[in-house]
Each structure stands twice: as C-alpha cells, then as structure tokens.
Chains A and B, each alone.
Chain A
Amino acid sequence: MIIIGERINGMFRDIAKAIREKDPKPVQEWAQKQEAMGAGYLDLNVGPAVPERVPAMKWLVEVAQEASKLPLCLDSTDYDAIEAGLEVCKQPAMINSVPAIADKMDRVFTLAQKFDAEVIGLAMSEEGIPKDAESRVALSMELVANCDAYGVPVDRLYIDPLVLPANVGQDHGPEVFETLRQIKLLSDPPPKTTVGLSNISQGTKNRELLNRTFAVMAMACGLDSAIADACDEELVAAVATARVILNMDIYCDSYVDVFRNQNL
C-alpha cells in the first residue's frame, strides 16, 4: 500500500497560516518529513485557508516540489485550482478527485489526458455515497469506462470506494471490502484503489488502531494506496508487515526499516 501523505492540508492550522502568509517553511518541512517516513505521494489541499484557491494551489505545488522529489496529489473540488497546479508540476501528478458524474468526469479525465496525470475516482454520484457494494461497483465501472474513453490508461485510475466512520457507518465496512475485491475484476489491467484512511476513525477515540486495522484488512482485499498519516509509525509498520504477509515484499529481519526508508 502506497501512502499518500495527508499532512499538507489547509485544514491544519500551521498549513493554513503558511498559505495565508506565503511562508514555505511549514509546507516544506512536512513535505520532507513525510518523504522520510516512507510516503509515496504528497497530498496537497488548500482547504478553507484562503478564498482564492487557484493561486494558492499553484504556490503549494511550487514550494512542495522544491523540498521533495515525491509526486504530488492535487486535492481540491475546484478543478481550476487543480489545473493551475498541474501546469507547474515538474512530474506527472495525481488528481484528487472526481465522482462518477458526467460533466466532472469530462473535465477531470481531459485534464488527466493532457497532463499525463493519475486520477482518484470516487464511487459516488449525484445521489451520494451508495450503501452497498453492488452500487459502488457499478459506479466504479462508470469511472473505468470514462477513463478509458478519454484515453487515460485504466491503471492510472485509483478508485476510492469511500469509507465512512466506524462509529456512524459500521455497515459500510464489509461493503467497502467487497467493492475493493470486485474493482480488481473490472478490467485488465485493473484500476488501482485508494481510500481516505482516516475517515474510518473520524470522531472515534482510538483513531490510530482503527486506521491501521482497517488498512491491513483492506490491503488483503486489494487496496493499493491510501491517503493517510505517513508519520504514524505504527501504521507504517503494520503496512510493511501486511506487505510481507501478502508476499509483496521479500521478508528480512529489518523489513519495517526497509519499507520506512524506501525514499532515502
């Protein structure tokens, strides 16, 4: 499971302040820290920090890639902001995200094709998040079909089956796992998968435990990546362990360190 480091987000006070004051330091520190802890991508989200999201996203991209060699995951519902970010990215990035809604898919997959970007597709429509796996899979198929139609290779699409907090949407858990399994049967090569990991523990007491338990269970169902806290050492250790158990990495006594130090 590739970790898309979630920390550069205007929802966090230090990042919001940095965006407002155009102070690159906190952004770059988090970029480097997440890279050193084993993240595979850096998620960049302007959040509610400033009203003008287009210049803010452009600035975030510029300062983040000065500090880290990781690919970026541009996270916004404002596609103008994403486009502005893609224009200044030095390497192919990831677009986060698009739901299975026609006009949005049109905009996003066109951008992805133009900028050779990867795309996170959400298994939801105008009607919101489906309750069962079947409907999630049907929406995933719409994402796959559109992705292919716009000339974006399907293995550059990451489908997010959408995770709800364990304390309010407990019945969604098994549906998400079943969706992850079935997504891998939709095409050859199959799309990749992702989740917003910390959603599972939103509003609960022992967040880290829920996060890492969910992560390893989802990995066994085919989860390829997650937007998550790369600095959660127990999570990273659990992911490294699951990779060994799933025969994705060759075991050695220092396997956790090897996984953690992969960017060094």
Chain B
Amino acid sequence: MAVEIMKEKYRSSVREVVLGATKDEGGTRSHTIKVGGETTLPFLHFEGDIPNRPVVAMEVWDVVPEDWPASVKGFFEDVYNDPAAWAKKCVDEYGADMIALRFKSADPDLKDASAEDCVPTLKKVLEAVGVPLIVYGCGKTEKDNNIIGPLAEAAEGENLLLGVAEQENFKPVASAAMASKHSVIAQSPIDINIAKQLNILISELSTPLLERIVIDPTIAALGYGIEYSYSIMERARFGALNGDRMLAMPMIGNVSQEVWSKKEAFLEEGEPTWGDQAERSLAWEAATSMALLQAGMDILVMRNPESVKIVKKQIDDLMQDNSY
C-alpha cells in the first residue's frame, strides 16, 4: 500500500535578506550572500523551499585572543596580530562564508580603542577579503554606541551586518545601519516577545530596515539553555511561516562565544571522563551548531576551523534535495 506523505502547507515565508554589496550595488564585496527565504521548516525540501543554504561566519578579533585555549589558538598563530590576514586565512583556508569581526580593542578594560583606532582595521579587513562582513563592537553597550556610527560610516554602502540592536538600546545601531546602508542584528535575551517587539521598534524607526533585520535570539550551548533557545527559535519560525511578519527574519547565532565560555569546552583538565579537550571542544562547537541548524539557524558564528569543516559538510548533506 502506498504511503501518503503528510505535507504541511504554510501561508507565509521567512524574509530573504541580502548581505554585503558588490561594486554595482555600492560596495566592494566580490559577491553577496542571501539568507532566509524558507517556506517550510529546516531542510524539509519535500514540503517547501529552502532557497538559501545556512552560512558559517568565522570570528576574527582585532586583538590577540589571549584567553583562547591552545587547541583553537594554534590554527591562527601566524595571523593573530593582523586581523586582515586572519580574515583572509579563514576565507581561503577554512572556507568561511562570512567574517564576523569583533572590535575587542574598544573594551574600556582592554585597550579602550577609539572609533578612529578601529576604522583602519575595518578597512583593511574589507580589502583583504571579498566576503560580506559582520561587525560587532566589544560587547559593552556604552562604548559600542560610540564606535558603531563611525565604523558604519567608514564602510558606507558595504551592507555590513551590524551588531547589535537591543530593546533598550536599538537606536545607535539601527540609525547607523539606516544612514550608511547596512543590515542590522536585532538581539533579544532568549525571549520571543522581546524579539518581536524589537523588530517592531526598528521598523517604526525605519520601515525599509524591516527588510534588513537578522534576529539573534541569543543561544546557549549547554543543557536547559540550548533547549530553551531551540524552542524559542522553533516558535519564531512557526510564527514566520504562519504569517507573523514581525518574526519572519533569518536568524544568527553566536555559537563560538557560547561554546567557548563553557568549562566543559575549554577546561584542559576537566573531569577524567570528559576526554581530550581538543577533541571535546571541537565536537561541542560542531554539535551545538548542528542542533541550531535544525531549529532554523541561518548564520552560525564559529571559531574552530575543524568544527567549521564538520558543520559545512553537514550543511552540504542537509541541503541535498529530499523531495519525493
């Protein structure tokens, strides 16, 4: 007896967001990257369209990452002091689809670098690689509010993905994106209601920006946390597919930041049963990424090139057409 395949029909789709801009479009990228556009849940090619593959962005810092464990630090030893060379290595050798550039030097507790100090680094990285860029500040809101405007302006027209707009502090990033033609990361603290509200606030500031938002739902990399992130992402995606325009954005996840802050990943001398740290951490980053791909993640920010390799292979496999 023939088995009838149950297919869900959704009434809407995730918005497609273009990142980067080529020369014709006012930037200098060698190509653009499209994310989103799904008309069904992740990788159910038999049910709908998954027009764009999820992409991997690799982290580049503008300072030497002193506290990275040796197992991941080793991959970049020759390029730590040169973010441009670091970015180039990620793209050329490790297959990064995008670069996520973090201006750690701006941290008042580190170098307290000014916007003027940061702009040349951004320009060099833009010159060194052709892929679209994600730009983050140091993570300290007050300082980031001061540097994001000048950084956005220095790369006007490049359609960077600028991080991060938050509910209580969305204007600096959103205004910078609006003024200098970039896209924006809207970050909410594992809270779907705030994720939706933040998108509304940004769209009220600028309607066209609604087409250029990527949601960062904030992910976790362990236990209860990742379960919760997963269910939030799933709920947002169901909302998007069922016509909720204010949740119909592609999503980005800071995988490496979460994974590498867990002692289970970075402790070299962990519990005896934990096994080799290098192997453990690369598996941790890969497994976290894979779980998030299943929840609908469109952009994964990653660190360990070996994990990237595994995840990119996984994406290749998942993007094989399974329609019947």
Contact = CB atoms under 8 A, between A and B. Distances in A.
B192 A253 contact: no
B235 A258 contact: no
Interface string A235-264: 000000000000001111110011000100
B244 A251 contact: no
A135 to B, nearest CB: 34
B200 A250 contact: no
Nearest to B167: A253
Contacts of A258: 196, 200, 246
Contact of B235 (A250, A252, A253, A254): A250
B231 to A, nearest CB: 13
A251 B192 CA distance: 8
B239 interface: yes
Interface in B276-297: none
Nearest to A253: B197
Nearest to B197: A252
A173 B235 CA distance: 35
Given A250-B193, A250-B235, A257 B244 contact: no
Interface in B243-295: 244-247
Contact of B247 (A250, A253, A257, A262): A250
A254 B196 CA distance: 9
B242 to A, nearest CB: 9
Interface string A219-249: 0000000000000000000000000000001
A254 B197 contact: yes
B200 A254 contact: yes
A250 B197 contact: no
B211 to A, nearest CB: 15
A253 B245 CA distance: 15
Nearest to B200: A254
Contacts of B192: 250
The 3 lowest CB-CB distance pairs between A and B, nearest first, are: A252-B196, A252-B197, A250-B239
27 contacts: A249-B239, A249-B244, A250-B192, A250-B193, A250-B196, A250-B235, A250-B236, A250-B239, A250-B244, A250-B247, A251-B193, A251-B196, A252-B193, A252-B194, A252-B196, A252-B197, A252-B200, A252-B246, A253-B193, A253-B197, A254-B197, A254-B200, A257-B200, A258-B196, A258-B200, A258-B246, A262-B245
Given A253-B193, A254-B200, 5 more contacts: A250-B193, A252-B197, A252-B246, A257-B200, A262-B245
